[in-house]
C-alpha cells in the first residue's frame, strides 16, 4: 500500500471532473422537481446524452457540437416523458422507470458502431495567468469550459429560483398546481419546459462522462450516476447550493476510492467500488431521518398528476 | 381540439384492451425502428414473434426457452406487482435476485458434495431469505427514517453486483476451475440441481413456483383482507389509514414478499439454467420484470401472459440477432417502447377522449 | 346607466349535469350583489365563467357595455375582475408577498410590494406581515392574503366565494366593514353564499339560483330568511325533529389530550378535555384549520395518543388504532369524503368493507365475504336513500350529498356507542343535509354519544345539546347550546383574533 501516491492537487482536480456529470444532471432534475414533476428517467437521459454527444463529437470532430447534440438528445428523450405524464397523465414513477429502461436500450443501439473509438479531446479553457498560480492553478484553473459552465449554472439556477418572477411561478406550480392553475398559470406548459431543461442537463452530464471523464463509449457507462443525481436532489433539500455540495461530496468519494484502489489499500476492491452507492444511501438516510426538514423542503405537488378539470 | 374527460368509473374494457393495443403499436413502431436500422421490418417481426414458436428449424430449441425465461420474470413481477399496487416502489429486484442466487448457491457450495434430500429445499429457503433480507434494507430505512425506497433499492443493485463479482472471483470460485472466475456448476451436483422436470418443455421448479405465485397472488388480491388493504393503500393512502391499515406494515410485507420472490427466482436460476455464480450471472430479469408487471396491469393473470410475451421477445431477439444481425440492444429499446405505449394508453381507461372544438361564444 | 357587468343567457353543460342554464343578471358599480343558492345550484360554475376559468357553452357578457369574454383569469384580472376563492389559491411554502406577487400581472419589486401590502392592509383594517410563510397563517389571515392580492389591483368587480365560511362571527363583521368601504368607493362586489342572515345584512340585491337556473331576483333586505330559504331550496324544509332525549352516563371522556401535529403546517392539539354522555350530541365549532382534522384523527385512532387521554366508559383507549376502536363501537367519519372517508376509485361494496369489516363480520379469518359486504352496502344504500345504480359503482361517481349519506350511513348502521363526525353536511344539498342531521339525532336518541365537529354554526345550534369551540388546537369548555348567542359562540371561537385592534386603529 502506498498512500503517498495520492496527490491532493490531482485529487481535487479530478474530483471536480468526477462530480460534474452528476452536478449537471442533479441541477436539471432540481428544476424539474421544483416544478412538481418527479422524473426518474435521469439515468436514461444521461446515457442517451452520453452516446448522442459521443457520436456527434466523433462524427464532426467537435466536442462543442457533441455537447450540443447531447443536450438535444436528452431533451428529446425527456419530451417522451413530458408527453406521457403531462398530456396523457401517466404515473410519473412508472414513466420515469420506462424512460430509463428505454434510454439504456436506445443508447446501446446507437452506440454499436462507436465502441472502442476515441473522442476528440475537449480543450482546457485558457484562463491565462490564473492557470499558472502554483497548486491552485492546477487544482481549479486548468479545467475545460463545461466545468466552469456547470458552476455558473448552479448560480444561475439559484438566482432564477430565488429572485426571478419566472422562478417564482415555477415554484408556485410545483407547490400547488391547482392554485397556480386557478391564477391562470399554464401548469402543463411550464412543467414541459422544466422537463426539457432537466433532459438537456442530464444529456450534457452524460456527454461529459463519455467525452471527458472516461473518455470513451461503453454500454451502460453511466452505471447509476443518474440515480445518484436523483438522490443528491433529495440530499440537497431542493436547494441549488446544496446540490453543488452533494455532487462534490460524491465526486470526492468516487475519486478517493479509485485512488485507494490504485494505492492497493487492504480493503476489498469490490467494497471500494460499492462505496459511492453506500455513501449515497447513508446520506439519504441521514437527510430523511430529519423529519421536519424533509417534509417542508419537498415541493407540495411533487409527483402528483395534474388534470385541469375546470 | 382534443379534450380529456374523467370517467366516473374506470373502464374495464379499455383496461383490458390497452395492453393488446400497446403490443400492436409497439410492433408498428418497432418495425419502423428496425427499418431505420436497415433490417427488413417484416422479417424482424416474424423472427421475433413467430419463429421461436413455430419455425421448425428453431422451435425445438426455443420453445422450452419460453418457460425458462418466463419463469423468473413472472415470479419477480408477481412480487413487484403487490408493492406497485400498494404504492411501494421496489425497483431493486435485480439486486434481490442476485442475493437470492448467492445465498442459494452458497448453501449448495457449503454442503458440496453431500448427497441428501434436504440440500435443495435448504437452498430454496436460503434463496428466499437472501432476497428478503436484501429487500428489508430499503424497507427498514423507509419505515424507520422515511428514506425513499426507490433510490435505496435501486442503488443496492450496484452493491449486489459488486458482491456478485467478489463472490465469483473469491469465496465461491470453483477450486477446480483452473483459476477462472465463477463457481462450481450446480447442474453437475444432483442434490442441488434444479433440472428440467419434463424433457423438452423448459419446465423447472422456478417455473412451478411462478405458477403457484400467480394463483396465490390472485387469491390474495381478490379474496383476502391483506390484498384488499394493499389495493386500498395504493389507491387512497389516507383512506387506508382511516380503515386501520398500518402503512409501515404494508411496506415491510410488500418489500418482503417481492424480495423473497426475486431471491427465489435467482436461486432457481443459479441452480438450473445458469448453473453457476459468475460475474455476468444477472441479465436484467429484475428490471424487465417491472415492464412485465405493468404490461400485465399488475394483475396476476395479466402478468402470466405478459411474462410469456416478454420471454418471447427475449428469445426472438436472440434469434433476430443470430439470423438478421439485429443488435441485442434493439430488443431492450423495443421493450421500453412497449411500456411507453402502455402507459400512454392507460389514459383511456380513466379518461374519455372528446374530439372537436368546444363551442365558445 | 349601463351596469358594470351584464350576464346574458350564460350556459354550461358538463357530462350528465347542466351546471348553468341561460343565466342572466347584472351588477351596478358600487353594488353588493348576492348570488344565492344551495350546493350544486351552479354558483361556482357561474363565477368561474366570469373569472375566465371556465368557458361558457352559450350566452355572452358585457363589462361596462363592452363585450367581455375572458379567455383566462389573466384577461379577467386585466379587465378589472378579481376573485377570492373559497378554497384558497395559495401556496403554503411561499411567503405572503410572493403569494401576492403571483396574483398580479406586473408586480413591483419585492421590497416595494411589501410596502404596498402594508399600506393596503392598514387602509382596510386587514393586518398582514408580508414576509411570513402562508402555511403558518390562520384561515382568516389566509383569506386576508387573497383579499389584499385582489385589492392591490384596484378591481372594478370583486367576486367573493363563501368568504365567511372560514371566519368567526366577529371576523365576518370586520370583513363586512371592509366590503362596505370598498362598495362605497365604487367597487362592485359579487358575494356568493348560502348564509341568509349575512346576505340580508350586507347585500343590496340578490340573484337566486336553483339547479343552474335563475329562479328569482330580489332585495334581500325586504325578505325574511325563511322566504329566501324557500326560494333557494324550492320547497319548505322540515327542520330535524329531536325527541326529548334522556342523557345517560358518560360514555366518551377526553382528558388532557395533547398531540403534536404530524405535518409542518398542521395544528397541534393542546390539552383538550371534554366528555360526552350517552344520548347526547356535543357540537364542536371553530374556524377551519384550528385542529378539527387532528381531533378527529385522535378520536378515530388514526393518530395514537397516550392511552389515558381518551376513555370509553372509563377504559383507556387513546393508544388503540382505528380497527381496535371499531371493535369496541367507537366509530368516526372524517371530513374529506373522497380519499379519506372513502376510496374514490373503489366500488361502494369495497368502501363498505373499508370500515365495516370488523363489526359486520365481512371477513372470516382474513378471507373476505363479498356477498355479505355487498349486502351491507345495499343496506346502507337503501336505508339512507343513496341515489346510485348499485353497490358496484365507484364512490367518485356519486354526488357529494349521496356519498356523504353513504359514509354517514355506513357508520350509523354499525350501531356505534360513540360516533365522531367532522363536517357531516359540508358541500351537501339541503335535503341530504337534513337527512344526515336527522340520522345523527336519531342515533343519539337511541343512546349513542355523538360528537359533531363542524364549521357550520347554524348546524351545531340546531342539533347539539352542548357546544364547545376549537381555537388554535385548544378547546373552550363545553356549554349548553340552548341560550347561547351567536356573539358568545363567536367569542368562544376566538373572537376576532388580532383583527379587532387593527380595525379600531383605522
Grid coordinates given for A51: 452516446
Given C190, C206, C233, the domain boundary residue is C233
Query: Are residues C203 and C255 both part of a single domain?
Result: no
CB-based contact C131:C97 (threshold 8 Å): yes
A2-48: pLDDT as tens digits: 566 677 888 888 899 999 999 999 999 999 999 999 999 999 999 99
Give dist(CA C180, CA A202) in Å, integer.
56
pLDDT of B360 higher than 50: no
Among A201-215, C73-87, C232-246, C410-424, the least confident range = C232-246
pLDDT band at C496 (very low <50, low <70, confident <90, very high): low
C291 shares a domain with C216: no
Final residue before a domain boundary, out of C233, C258, C290: C233
Among residues C188, C231, C191, C236, which one has the least CA distance to residue C209? C231
Closest by CA to B152, choosing from A272, A235, A249, A81, is A235
CB contact under 8 Å between C73 and A182, yes or no, is: yes
* Interstrand relation of C315-316 and C310-312 (parallel, antiparallel or unpaired): antiparallel
Q: Residue B356 pLDDT more than 60?
A: no
Average pLDDT on B75-101 reads: 96
Residue C41 lies in a domain: yes
Residue A291's pLDDT is: 63
Q: What is the tally of structural domains in chain C?
A: 2
Instruction: Write the CATH number for C164.
Output: 3.40.50.300
Residues A186-213 have pLDDT tens digits of 999 999 999 999 999 999 999 999 999 9
pLDDT above 60 for C501: no
B47 part of a folded domain: yes
Asked if residue C92 lies in contact with residue C136, where contact means CB atoms within 8 angstroms, the answer is no
Instruction: Confirm if C140 and C170 have CB atoms less than 8 A apart.
Output: no
Same domain for C175 and C301, yes or no, is no
Q: A-C interface: how many C-beta pairs under 8 angstroms?
A: 57
Mean pLDDT of B331-336: 85
With contact defined as beta carbons under 8 Å apart, do C424 and C437 qualify?
yes
Cell 436532489 sits on residue:
A233
Q: How many domains does chain B have?
A: 1
Q: Is A283 helix (H, G, I), strand (E, B) or coil?
A: helix
Percent of chain C with pLDDT over 90: 55
Closest of C39, C87, C20, C15 to residue C432, by C-alpha: C39
Dig out the grid coordinates for B77 from the structure. Answer: 413481477
Please determine, for residue B315, whether its predicted confidence score (pLDDT) is greater than 80: yes
What single-letter DSSP state applies at residue C361? T
Question: Which of the four pLDDT bands, split at 50, 70 and 90, describes residue C497?
Answer: low
- C318 CA to chain B: closest CA distance, Å? 15
Q: What is the 3-state secondary structure (H, E, C) of chain B?
A: CCEEEECCCCCHHHHHHHHHHHHHHHHHHHHHHHHHCCCCHHHHHHHHHCHHHHCHHHHHHHHHHHHHHHHHHHHHHHHHHHHHHHCCCCCCHHHHHHHHHHHHHHHHHHHCCCCCCCHHHHHHHHHHHHHHHHHHHHHHHHHHHCCCHHHHHHHHHHHHHHHHHHHHHCCCCCCCCCCCCCCCCHHHCCCCCCCCCCCCCCCCHHHHHHHHHHHHHHHHHHHEHHHHHHHHHHHCHHHHHHHCCCHHHHHHHHHHHHHHHHHHHHHHHHHCCCCCCCCCCCCCHHHHHHHHHHHCCCCHHHHHHHHHHHHHHHHHHHHHHHHHCCCHHHHHHHHHHHHHHHHHHCHHHHEEEECCCCCCC
* Tens digits of residue pLDDT in B16-67: 888 889 999 999 998 888 888 788 888 888 888 888 888 888 888 888 899 9
Is C506 a member of any domain?
no
Tell whether C191 and C255 lie within a shared domain. Answer: no
Q: What are phi and psi of C55, to 5 degrees?
A: -90, 130
For residues C225-232, give the mean pLDDT.
84
Predicted confidence (pLDDT) at residue B196 exceeds the cutoff of 90: no
Question: Is there a single domain that holds both residue C271 and residue C198?
Answer: no
Q: Judge: C344–B5 Cβ closer than 8 Å, yes or no.
A: no
Identify which of A223, A247, A273, A197 has the alpha carbon closest to the alpha carbon of residue A50. A223
**What pLDDT is recorded for position C386?**
92
CA distances from A216 to A210, A219, B238, C376 (A): 5, 10, 49, 67
Whether residue C370 contacts residue C364, with contact meaning beta carbons closer than 8 Å, is answered with no
Contact call for C394 and B8, based on CB within 8 A: yes
- Residue where a domain stops, chosen among C198, C233, C268: C233
Cα–Cα distance measured from residue B54 to residue C438, given in angstroms and rounded to the nearest whole number: 70
In a 13 Å sphere around the CA of B16, the CA atoms on its Cβ side amount to 3
**What is the per-residue burial (b if ≥16 Cβ within 10 Å, else e) of C330-347?**
bbbbbbebbbbbbbbbbb
State whether C342 and B246 contact (CB < 8 Å).
no
Task: Note the ipTM here.
Answer: 0.89
Note the pLDDT tens digit of each residue in C393-412: 999 888 888 999 999 999 99
Partnered with residue C63 across adjacent β-strands are C5, C66
For residue A132, what is the DSSP state?
G
Q: What is the pLDDT of residue B113?
A: 86
Nearest CA in chain A to C261: A292
Read out DSSP for A187-215? HHHHHHHHHHHHHHHHHHHHHHIIIIIS-
- Taking CA C457 as the corner, what is the angle to CA C150 and CA C168, rounded to the nearest 5 degrees? 40
> Does C268 lie in the same domain as C167?
no
Is A292 touching C (CB cutoff 8 A)?
yes
Report helix, strand or coil for C261: coil
Is B12 a domain residue?
Answer: no
Element (H, E) at C147: helix C139-151
Distances (CA, A) of C320 to B252, C104, C304, C328: 21, 49, 7, 10
Q: Is residue B36 classed exposed, middle or buried when 0-12, 13-18 and 19+ CB atoms within 10 A define those classes?
A: exposed
Tell me the C-alpha distance between B111 and B116, whole Å.
9
With respect to residue C475, please indicate whether it lies within any of the assigned structural domains: yes
**Domain containing residue B273:** 38-326
Residues 105-144 of B with CB under 8 A from A: 141, 144
Q: For residue B10, is it within any domain?
A: no
Q: Is B124 inside any structural domain?
A: yes
In a domain? residue B205: yes
Interface test with C, best of B223, B244, B253 (most C CBs within 10 A): B244
Note the residue count of chain A. 310
Residues from chain A contacting residue C20 (CB–CB below 8 Å): none
Q: Which range has the worst mean pLDDT, B215-219, B262-266, C333-337? A: C333-337
| DSSP per-residue letters across A106-122 | HHHHHGGGGTT--PPPP
Asked if residue C433 belongs to a domain, the reply is yes
> What is the set of domains in chain A, with CATH numbers?
3-297 (1.10.3470)
Min distance B208 CA to chain A CA atoms (Å): 28
Which is nearest to B313 in space by CA: B28, B50, B38?
Answer: B50
Q: Which residues of chain A have pLDDT under 50?
A: 1, 310
Distance CA C196, CA C229 (A): 7
Q: Which of A171, A179, A295 sits opposite C89 (nearest CB)?
A: A179
**Quick one: what percent of chain B has pLDDT higher than 70?**
98
Cβ of A183 within 8 Å of Cβ of C102? The answer is yes
Closest to B26 (Cα-Cα) out of B318, B341, B292: B341
From C242, C323, C229, select the one nearest C279 (Cα to Cα): C242
Name which of A64-78, A79-93, C54-68, C130-144 the model is least confident about: C130-144
Contacts of C379 (CB under 8 A, 6+ apart): C413
Mean pLDDT over residues B328-345, rounded? 87
Q: How far apart are the first and last CA of chain C?
A: 33
Asked whether the beta carbons of A44 and A200 are under 8 A apart, the reply is no
| For residues B83-99, average pLDDT | 95
Min CA distance, C477 vs chain B (Å)?
A: 28
CATH of the domain at B302: 1.10.3470
Residues of B in contact with A271 (CB under 8 A): 162, 166
Q: Which residues of A touch C145 (CB under 8 A)?
A: none
Any A CB within 8 A of C55 CB: no
Query: A280 is written with which cell numbers?
Result: 449515497
CA distance B134 to chain C (A): 28
Interface of B with C (CB under 8 A): 5, 8-10, 223-226, 228, 231-232, 235-236, 238-244, 246, 358-361
C258 shares a domain with C113: no
User: Of C166, C211, C164, whose CA–CA distance to C430 is shortest?
Assistant: C211
The b/e string for C61-76 (b: 16+ C-beta within 10 A; e otherwise) is bbbeeeebbbebbeeb
Give pLDDT tens digits for C437-456: 999 999 999 999 999 999 88
For residue B271, the model assigns a pLDDT of 94
Q: What is the pLDDT of residue B2?
A: 67
Strand order in the sheet with C58-63: C17-27, C5-14, C58-63, C66-68
Q: Which of B9, B241, B244 sits opposite C394 (nearest CB)?
A: B9
Domain assignment of residue C110, given as a range? 5-233
List the end-to-end C-alpha distance of chain A, in Å, as a whole number: 68
CB C35 within 8 Å of CB C207 = yes
C269 in the same domain as C219: no
Q: Which residues of B touch A99 (CB under 8 A)?
A: 336
pLDDT for res C503: 44
Residue in B146, B159, B294 nearest the CB of A277: B159
Question: Which subunits count as partners of chain C given 3+ CB pairs below 8 Å?
Answer: A, B
Contacts of B338 (CB under 8 A, 6+ apart): B22, B23, B26, B291, B295
Amino acid at each position: 500500500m502506498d498512500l503517498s501516491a495520492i496527490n491532493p492537487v490531482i485529487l481535487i482536480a479530478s474530483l471536480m471532473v468526477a462530480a460534474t456529470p452528476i452536478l449537471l444532471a442533479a441541477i436539471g432534475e432540481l428544476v424539474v422537481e421544483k416544478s412538481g414533476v418527479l422524473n426518474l428517467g435521469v439515468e436514461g437521459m444521461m446515457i442517451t446524452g452520453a452516446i448522442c454527444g459521443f457520436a456527434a463529437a466523433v462524427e464532426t470532430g467537435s466536442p462543442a457540437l457533441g455537447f450540443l447534440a447531447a443536450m438535444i438528445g436528452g431533451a428529446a428523450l425527456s419530451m417522451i416523458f413530458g408527453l406521457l405524464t403531462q398530456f396523457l397523465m401517466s404515473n410519473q414513477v412508472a414513466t420515469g422507470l420506462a424512460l430509463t429502461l428505454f434510454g439504456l436500450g436506445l443508447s446501446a443501439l446507437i452506440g454499436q458502431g462507436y465502441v472502442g473509438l476515441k473522442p476528440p479531446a475537449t480543450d482546457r479553457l485558457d484562463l491565462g495567468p490564473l492557470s499558472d498560480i502554483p497548486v491552485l492553478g492546477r487544482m481549479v484553473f486548468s479545467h475545460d469550459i463545461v466545468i466552469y459552465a456547470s458552476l455558473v449554472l448552479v448560480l444561475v439556477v439559484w438566482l432564477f429560483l430565488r429572485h426571478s418572477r419566472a422562478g417564482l411561478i415555477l415554484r408556485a406550480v410545483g407547490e400547488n398546481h391547482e392554485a397556480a392553475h386557478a391564477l391562470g398559470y399554464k401548469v402543463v406548459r411550464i412543467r414541459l419546459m422544466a422537463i426539457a431543461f432537466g433532459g438537456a442537463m442530464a444529456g450534457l452530464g452524460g456527454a461529459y462522462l463519455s467525452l471527458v471523464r472516461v473518455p470513451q463509449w461503453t454500454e451502460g457507462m453511466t452505471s447509476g450516476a443518474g440515480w445518484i443525481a436523483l438522490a443528491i436532489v433529495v440530499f440537497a433539500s431542493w436547494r441549488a447550493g446544496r446540490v453543488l455540495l452533494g455532487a462534490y461530496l460524491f465526486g470526492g468519494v468516487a475519486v478517493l476510492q479509485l485512488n485507494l484502489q490504485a494505492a492497493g489499500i487492504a480493503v476489498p476492491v469490490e467494497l471500494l467500488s460499492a462505496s459511492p452507492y453506500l455513501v449515497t444511501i447513508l446520506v439519504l438516510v441521514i437527510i430523511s431521518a430529519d423529519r421536519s426538514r424533509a417534509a417542508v423542503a419537498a415541493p407540495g405537488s411533487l409527483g402528483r398528476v395534474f388534470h385541469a378539470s375546470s | 381540439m382534443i379534450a380529456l374527460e374523467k370517467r366516473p368509473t374506470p373502464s374495464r374494457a379499455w383496461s383490458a384492451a390497452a395492453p393488446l393495443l400497446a403490443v400492436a403499436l409497439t410492433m408498428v413502431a418497432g418495425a419502423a425502428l428496425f427499418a431505420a436500422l436497415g433490417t427488413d421490418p417484416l422479417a424482424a417481426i416474424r423472427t421475433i414473434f413467430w419463429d421461436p414458436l413455430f419455425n421448425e428449424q428453431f422451435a425445438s430449441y426455443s420453445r422450452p426457452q419460453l418457460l425458462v425465461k418466463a419463469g423468473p420474470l413472472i415470479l419477480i413481477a408477481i412480487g413487484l406487482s403487490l408493492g406497485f399496487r400498494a404504492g411501494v416502489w421496489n425497483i431493486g429486484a435485480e439486486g434481490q435476485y442476485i442475493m437470492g442466487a448467492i445465498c442459494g448457491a452458497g448453501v449448495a457450495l457449503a454442503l458440496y458434495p453431500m448427497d441428501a434430500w434436504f440440500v435443495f429445499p435448504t437452498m430454496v429457503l436460503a434463496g428466499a431469505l437472501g432476497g428478503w433480507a436484501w429487500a428489508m434494507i430499503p424497507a427498514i430505512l423507509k419505515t424507520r427514517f422515511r428514506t425513499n425506497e426507490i433510490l435505496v433499492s435501486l442503488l443496492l443493485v450496484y452493491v449486489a453486483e459488486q458482491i456478485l463479482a467478489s463472490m465469483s472471483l473469491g469465496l465461491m470460485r470453483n477450486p477446480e476451475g483452473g483459476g477462472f472466475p465463477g463457481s462450481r456448476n450446480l447442474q453437475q451436483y444432483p442434490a442441488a440441481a434444479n433440472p428440467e422436470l419434463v424433457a423438452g418443455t423448459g419446465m423447472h421448479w422456478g417455473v412451478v413456483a411462478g405458477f403457484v405465485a400467480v394463483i396465490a397472488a390472485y387469491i390474495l388480491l381478490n379474496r383476502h383482507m391483506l390484498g384488499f388493504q394493499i389495493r386500498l393503500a395504493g389507491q387512497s393512502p389516507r383512506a387506508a389509514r382511516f380503515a386501520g391499515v398500518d402503512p409501515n406494515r404494508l411496506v415491510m410485507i410488500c418489500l418482503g414478499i417481492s424480495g423473497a420472490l426475486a431471491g427465489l427466482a435467482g436461486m432457481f436460476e443459479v441452480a438450473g439454467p445458469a448453473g453457476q455464480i459468475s460475474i455476468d450471472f444477472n441479465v436484467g430479469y429484475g428490471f424487465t420484470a417491472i415492464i412485465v408487471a405493468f404490461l400485465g396491469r399488475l394483475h396476476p393473470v395479466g402478468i402470466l401472459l405478459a411474462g410469456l410475451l416478454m420471454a418471447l421477445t427475449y428469445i426472438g431477439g436472440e434469434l433476430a440477432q443470430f439470423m438478421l444481425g439485429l443488435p441485442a440492444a434493439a430488443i431492450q429499446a423495443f421493450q421500453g417502447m412497449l411500456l411507453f405505449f402502455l402507459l400512454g394508453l392507460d389514459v383511456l381507461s380513466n379518461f374519455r377522449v372528446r374530439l372537436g372544438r368546444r363551442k365558445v361564444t | 346607466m349601463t351596469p358594470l357587468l351584464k350576464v346574458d343567457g350564460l350556459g354550461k353543460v358538463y357530462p350528465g349535469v347542466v351546471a348553468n342554464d341561460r343565466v342572466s343578471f347584472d351588477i351596478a358599480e358600487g353594488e353588493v350583489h348576492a348570488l344565492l343558492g344551495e350546493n350544486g345550484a351552479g354558483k361556482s360554475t357561474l363565477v368561474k365563467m366570469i373569472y375566465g376559468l371556465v368557458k361558457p357553452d352559450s350566452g355572452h357578457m358585457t363589462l361596462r357595455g363592452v363585450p367581455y369574454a375572458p379567455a383566462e383569469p389573466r384577461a379577467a384580472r386585466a379587465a378589472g375582475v378579481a376573485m377570492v376563492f373559497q378554497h384558497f389559491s395559495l401556496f403554503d411554502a411561499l411567503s405572503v408577498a410572493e403569494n401576492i406577487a403571483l396574483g398580479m400581472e406586473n408586480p413591483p419589486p419585492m421590497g416595494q410590494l411589501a410596502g404596498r401590502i402594508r399600506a393596503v392592509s392598514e387602509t382596510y383594517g386587514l393586518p398582514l406581515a408580508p414576509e411570513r410563510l402562508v402555511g403558518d397563517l390562520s384561515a382568516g389571515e389566509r383569506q386576508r392574503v387573497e383579499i389584499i392580492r385582489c385589492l392591490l389591483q384596484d378591481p372594478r368587480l370583486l367576486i367573493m366565494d363563501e368568504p365567511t365560511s372560514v371566519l368567526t362571527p366577529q371576523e365576518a363583521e370586520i370583513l363586512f366593514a371592509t366590503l362596505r368601504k370598498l362598495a362605497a368607493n365604487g367597487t362592485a362586489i359579487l358575494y356568493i353564499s348560502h348564509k341568509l342572515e349575512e346576505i340580508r345584512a350586507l347585500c343590496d340585491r340578490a340573484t337566486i339560483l336553483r339547479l343552474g337556473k335563475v329562479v328569482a331576483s330580489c332585495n334581500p333586505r325586504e325578505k325574511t330568511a325563511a322566504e329566501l330559504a324557500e326560494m333557494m331550496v324550492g320547497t319548505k324544509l322540515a327542520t330535524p325533529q329531536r325527541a326529548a332525549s334522556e342523557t345517560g352516563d358518560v360514555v366518551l371522556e377526553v382528558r388532557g389530550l395533547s398531540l403534536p401535529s404530524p405535518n409542518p403546517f398542521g395544528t397541534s392539539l393542546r390539552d383538550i378535555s371534554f366528555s360526552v354522555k350517552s344520548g347526547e350530541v356535543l357540537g364542536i365549532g371553530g374556524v377551519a384549520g384550528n385542529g378539527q382534522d387532528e381531533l378527529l384523527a385522535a378520536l378515530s385512532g388514526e393518530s395514537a395518543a397516550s392511552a389515558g387521554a381518551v376513555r370509553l366508559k372509563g377504559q383507556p383507549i387513546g393508544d388503540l388504532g382505528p380497527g381496535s376502536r371499531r371493535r369496541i363501537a367507537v366509530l368516526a367519519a372524517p371530513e374529506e369524503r373522497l380519499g379519506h372517508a372513502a376510496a374514490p376509485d373503489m366500488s361502494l361494496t369495497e368502501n363498505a368493507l373499508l370500515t365495516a369489516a370488523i363489526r359486520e363480520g365481512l371477513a372470516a379469518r382474513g378471507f373476505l365475504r363479498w356477498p355479505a359486504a355487498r349486502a351491507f352496502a345495499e343496506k346502507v344504500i337503501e336505508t339512507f336513500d343513496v341515489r346510485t345504480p348499485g353497490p358496484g359503482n365507484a364512490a367518485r361517481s356519486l354526488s357529494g350529498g349521496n356519498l356523504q349519506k353513504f359514509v354517514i350511513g355506513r357508520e350509523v348502521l354499525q350501531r356505534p356507542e360513540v360516533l365522531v363526525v367532522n363536517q357531516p353536511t359540508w358541500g351537501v344539498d339541503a335535503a341530504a343535509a337534513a337527512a344526515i342531521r336527522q340520522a345523527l339525532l336519531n342515533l343519539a336518541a337511541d343512546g349513542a354519544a355523538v360528537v359533531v365537529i363542524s364549521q357550520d354554526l347554524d348546524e351545531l345550534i340546531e342539533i347539539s345539546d352542548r357546544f364547545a369551540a376549537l381555537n388554535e388546537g385548544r378547546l373552550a369548555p363545553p356549554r349548553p347550546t340552548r341560550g347561547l348567542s351567536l356573539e358568545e359562540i363567536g367569542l368562544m371561537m376566538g373572537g376576532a383574533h388580532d383583527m379587532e385592534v387593527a380595525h379600531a386603529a383605522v
